[in-house]
Amino acid sequence: MNKKQMKYSKNYISVIDIFCGVGGLTCGLIKSGIPVVAGYDIDASCKYAYEKNNIGAKFFHCNVKNILGSEITRQFNDAKYKVLVGCAPCQPFSKYTQGVKSPSEKWGLLYEFSRIIKETQPHIISMENVPELVRHTIFCEFMEFLQKEGYYPDTKIVYCPDYGIPQERRRLVILASKLAPITILPPTHNHKNYLTVRDVLSQTPKLCAGEKHTKDILHRCSSLSLINLTRIRHSISGGTWRDWPRELIAKCHKSNSGSTYASVYGRMQWDKPAPTITTEFFGYGNGRFGHPDQDRAISLREGAILQTFPKNYKFFPNEKELSFKKAGQMIGNAVPVKLAVIIGKTIIRHIETYKKKNGKTN
């Protein structure tokens, strides 16, 4: 074992990931050099991807409401620095669901996250969510709770291209530490060198609508109806359905209320970051998810690449268990792996700085 591996052994820093999904966050933390020992999620279908791609991290299938603090403490196993991370489901705060359904049921999950913090007192916490969360009372309550528990909390709304992620996603990152004030590392990119769709997708094998690649079960794209095939042929990169001949335009878009909604049935642009990858990114009609120049929506693999998952990340053990809907949720809900790497590097730098300042040798 070399010195670096020794330094970041699970006895030194140990991470537990609540709401771990297929492991976007876990994968990035491991890549940054921090061991993740366990992930918890209510969706059993995430287990395969979580464990297959993240050696050393064990998946626990359970409802966060049933997780006992004593169980998490046992998993931390007396590590010197205990880190709890979590990315509660974003839907109750997302702009697409505002006013549509009562969020009270899902807000409960954030209270559960707080309960686990209270019961286990980790040194460092990280939470990622949609920026809309800051407008809700629960956000202020969470900040006050962290302060009361002795943490220095910090929140930033990050724009993913600033961290080398080829996607216009904005995310709220909450970091909190009991050791000292903590803040996410500064951006690594700016508008002059943002990664683009071309940088990451220009080499993926060509597909027709509805086709799948023979060697990679995830490189497959949805089929298109005849009218949508005609529509995409008339779509220009970065354009909207307004570019189509009038007979192709959907009835709802011809009406006054629908005519302003231009962000559907669009193609991505080669030389820009992609739009935010949602859980429905595989559908041409669900956003600007058309391939820049092939007449199809992007494939599941291309969505995963835009979320900065490694190109060979395995999501399903076999084709039989793969569905577009499930894959869309797994990929669209994930924390971009590269953002998780930045969070991991932030935590490492924070601990190293703390140790130096306090004259600690291990």
Interacting residue with ligand SAM among 7, 10, 12, 43 (CB under 6 A)? 43
Contact (Cβ atoms closer than 8 angstroms) between residue 169 and residue 162? no
Interacting residue with ligand SAM among 32, 33, 42, 80 (CB under 6 A)? 42
Does the footprint of ligand SAM cover residue 335 (CB under 6 A)?
yes
Interacting residue with ligand SAM among 109, 138, 209, 268 (CB under 6 A)? 109
Does the footprint of ligand SAM cover residue 325 (CB under 6 A)?
no
Distance separating alpha carbons of residues 174 and 184, to the nearest angstrom: 9
90 has catalytic annotation: yes
**Quick one: tokens of 356?**
């130096």
- b/e map 249-269, b = 16+ CB within 10 Å: beeebeeeeeeeeeebbbbbb
Sorted by sequence, the CB contacts under 8 Å of residue 321 that are 6+ apart come out as: 45, 48
Distance separating alpha carbons of residues 175 and 156, to the nearest angstrom: 9
> One of 27, 46, 90, 160 is an active-site residue; which one?
90
Does the footprint of ligand SAM cover residue 344 (CB under 6 A)?
no
Which C-beta is closer to ligand SAM: that of 130 or that of 176?
A: 130
| DSSP-derived 3-state class of residue 6 | helix
Does the footprint of ligand SAM cover residue 132 (CB under 6 A)?
no
Interacting residue with ligand SAM among 41, 132, 295, 302 (CB under 6 A)? 41
Q: How many residues are listed for the chain in this entry? A: 362
Interacting residue with ligand SAM among 15, 20, 146, 160 (CB under 6 A)? 20
Contact (Cβ atoms closer than 8 angstroms) between residue 120 and residue 82? yes
Order of strands across the sheet that contains 13-18 = 58-61, 36-41, 13-18, 81-86, 124-129, 170-177, 152-159
Does the footprint of ligand SAM cover residue 83 (CB under 6 A)?
no
Distance separating alpha carbons of residues 63 and 152, to the nearest angstrom: 28
The count of chain residues that interact with ligand SAM, using the rule CB under 6 A, is: 21
> At its nearest, how many Å lie between ligand SAM and the CB of residue 168?
18
Does the footprint of ligand SAM cover residue 34 (CB under 6 A)?
no
Interacting residue with ligand SAM among 15, 16, 79, 90 (CB under 6 A)? 90
Which C-beta is closer to ligand SAM: that of 46 or that of 277?
A: 46
| Interacting residues with ligand SAM (CB under 6 A) | 19-25, 41-43, 46, 63-65, 87, 89-90, 109, 333-335
Residues labelled as active-site residues: 90
